[in-house]
Copies of this chain bind each other. A is one copy, B any other.
Amino acid sequence: MIQSLLIANRGEIAIRIARTARRMGVVVYAVRTKKEPDALYLSAADVVVDFPDTELPVSEFLDIGALVKLAVDNEIEAIHPGYGFLSENAGFAAACKKAGVIFIGPPADVIDAMGDKIKARAYAMESGVNVPGGSKTPLTSVDEAKTLAEKIGYPVIIKATAGGGGRGMRIVSIPGDMQLMFSQATSEAQNAFGNASVYIEKYIENPKHIEVQIVADNHGNVIHLGERECSVQRKHQKLLEEAPSPALDSRLRKKMTSAAVALAKSIKYKSLGTVEFLLDKNGDFYFMEMNTRLQVEHPVTEMITGLDLVELQILIASGAKLPVKQQEVKFQGWAIECRINAEDVQAGFVPSMGIIRGIRLPQGNNIRIDTGVRPGSEITPFFDSMVAKLIVHADSRAEVIEKTLKALRQFHVKGVKTTIPFCKAVLHNPLFRSGYFDTSFVETAMDSPVHREPQEEFLAALLSVYAQTHNTTPITSDEVQIDPWVLKKRIRNF
């Protein structure tokens, strides 16, 4: 069994991984960076190691050499990459292996096969899973793109070969747009993945986004842990997820989970992974991509199965056999995850940077909060804008929607604007409640991106009048000024 673990990540996921690892008796190491030397995730570890000074202009958690060296120098047995950063980087997995460090994830060749989205399409087809018509090789020119698009029929979608997570994607509905979209997609792909290569696929219009969680050990056992419904998206970014999906009946669920397991088996998958599907209006589903890591939304699966996915990752990486068989996996109730991001929804979801001045967490049973911030934490342009994930579990979909709404009404963040009012608006929306929503939901079905509680506008007017009467000074301000929180941090660090 693995005895020590370096978490090559930060924020809520570092804390979440540390929690399980420490519960299992594994000694947990976290990496301190200059960008956030007193971040909350550091307090979740047994040992904190400092990231060394380097000349490289690369983010600490993307620096393969330095991270592997930290593990070797500190005699740490294994590395957990979390999500994002190096979690799907085959080179990182290979470098770990070479250095004698256990990489918690699938082997490098599997990451590589699934990371190249064109190769992944080919493997999916081989294992009998439908894929949308499209490229067999990366596009070399706009003209090639146009020719292929004519063949498979518009609309098509341009995707980054090395992509994932929505970046480098563009939908093209008419030939005239191809030039602009092709150049935007390649430049974004280059920025995001260091690889400008793109390909095209037939664009499935307004599908549902359904993904299947699979787990495979090193002994050939593969099981699935059901599906997650991730259709509430904006610009291919997931905003709210649930498990199970209201769109699947047991027949379709069986077909989709079997397809995911078949794919995993055919590529000799090991560790935790997610097979993402597009489900169209006819109930036909197509392979989209496979994520070879822990997902942000993994807690909803944990809630309904009672299994700890990080525990399974550590056990598998230790060489253990899967502790549960497929028929022992029991699915209970319904779970929803809300991503509470620091974004100004009313201004078009732009990041809302600043300092968290206060957090009020909802309280109650079967409410889980995964967060990496505390009062005083700063939301910076360095990292993503996630403040917390709120995960709620109840017996039925109707109940979990009400319970999540109640929790959101008790969840308050001061200092930055968050997506809490947006999540409320989703959960109040009749189409969402009906279950018949698809990935066009956020853009087409929401009257307002925020939900307003009764009397809110009246109270805002009253507050303005009160402030005018009392000459109240704003608590936060647009003006550039030294903030006491920032000052305090500066004094401490320099």
Contacts and interface: CB of A to CB of B under 8 A. Distances in A.
Interface of A: 22-23, 25, 360-361, 363, 410, 470
A361 B359 CA distance: 11
Nearest to A409: B363
A363 B410 contact: yes
A318 B361 CA distance: 43
B360 A470 contact: no
A22 B470 CA distance: 8
A196 to B, nearest CB: 49
A494 B298 CA distance: 49
A23 B22 CA distance: 50
**Closest CB pairs A-B (n = 4):** A363-B410, A360-B363, A25-B470, A23-B470
A363 B25 CA distance: 37
Nearest to A360: B363
A410 B360 CA distance: 12
A361 B360 CA distance: 9
A18 to B, nearest CB: 13
A284 to B, nearest CB: 46
A410 B470 CA distance: 33
A22 B469 CA distance: 11
Interface centre among A23, A363, A470 (most CB of B within 10 A): A363
A359 to B, nearest CB: 11
6 contacts: A22-B470, A23-B470, A25-B470, A360-B361, A360-B363, A363-B410
A405 to B, nearest CB: 14
Contacts of A360: 361, 363
Contacts of A23: 470
